Amino acid sequence: HFYENILLERHGRVGVITLNRPKALNALNFATMQDVVGAATQLDADPEIGAIVITGSERAFAAGADIKEMSTMSYMDMYLKDWFAGWDTLAAVRTPVIAAVSGHALGGGCELALICDFIIASDTATFGQPEIKLGVIPGMGGSQRLTRAVGKAKAMEMILTGRTIDAVEAERIGLVARIVPATDLLADALATAADIAAKSAPIAMLAKEVVNAAYESMLSGGIHLERRLFHSVFATDDQSEGMAAFIEKRPPVFTNR
């Protein structure tokens, strides 16, 4: 495979995808999405590969989706090309994927980092969802993944103001797993990926899947499950006993029935 917008390397059992559009600060145009998704799919299918690192340059992980490419597009252009839907394929990769982020991770760049399983940031990394300043909203999953990662208050603030945060704040709010000095970023990400790749690949895939089940399952599904289980406790003797004991002002005698 030849990829125009990325570099693809293998370091032992680790595959490394490096975004490589320096003139545009790695802005994610459609062709770059196809390259990243194609390379990740290729690595995912390779039994020799146990982890993937996605990185950019020192100056920019990615400064967003490509504004120049999108600026004159219409609703129908977006809809018919199902713009950004290709990223779903990256999210579905079973091999663990680490984002190694230095410099700008803005808009689609921040969202790409969030598609990865976790982020290792250099101390120079900055994150933001500046779409609102362009008259648009996040379109690569940011509204959902950022909110799950950092909670409503921070996600709302970032998405409504477009404010950029530094690596320290990103770590404090749980957006990134760890900060390392910029000069160590790639070595650290590679070592972390090699550590994962040394584990059982199918177990790592299962671990990724089950964490994603917690991350991805809808709150309404969890609330529904909770309510049904809550209803079911009213089929137990211990519920009757516990509540009766409270009303009768005596300690309960539970029978595990």
Contact pick of 107, 116, 146, 190 for ligand HXC (by CB under 6 A)? 107
Q: Does 139 bind ligand HXC (CB under 6 A)?
A: yes
Say whether residue 16 binds ligand HXC (CB under 6 A): no
Mind spelling out the 3-state secondary structure of 29-70? CHHHHHHHHHHHHHHHCCCCCCEEEEECCCCEEECCECHHHH
Question: Binding of ligand HXC at residue 31 (CB under 6 A)?
Answer: no
Identified catalytic residue from 108, 109, 128, 142 = 108
Considering only 66-74, 148-156, 174-182, 186-194, which stretch makes contact with ligand HXC by CB under 6 A?
A: 66-74
CB of 207 to ligand HXC, least distance (A): 30
- Respond yes or no: is residue 108 known to be catalytic: yes
Contact segment (CB under 6 A) with ligand HXC among 31-39, 65-73, 114-122, 180-188 equals 65-73
Is 174 designated active site? Answer: no
Choose between 159 and 173: whose C-beta lies nearer to ligand HXC: 159
65 is catalytic: yes
Q: Does residue number 141 form part of the binding site for ligand HXC (CB under 6 A)?
A: no
Torsion of CA 178, 179, 181, 185, to 10 degrees: 50
Residue 125 near residue 61, CB atoms below 8 Å: yes
Q: Which of 43, 49, 51, 63: binder of ligand HXC (CB under 6 A)?
A: 63
Q: How far is the CB of 195 from ligand HXC (least distance, A)?
A: 31
**Candidate ranges 63-71, 147-155, 190-198, 218-226; the one touching ligand HXC (CB under 6 A):** 63-71
d(CA 46, CA 201): 11
Per CB under 6 A, 27 contacts ligand HXC: yes
How many angstroms separate the CA atoms of 168 and 158, rounded? 15
Minimum CB distance to ligand HXC, residue 139 (Å): 3
Q: Which residues bind ligand HXC (CB under 6 A)?
A: 24-25, 27, 63-68, 70, 104, 106-108, 130-131, 134, 136, 138-140
**Could you give the residue numbers annotated as active site?**
65, 108, 111, 131
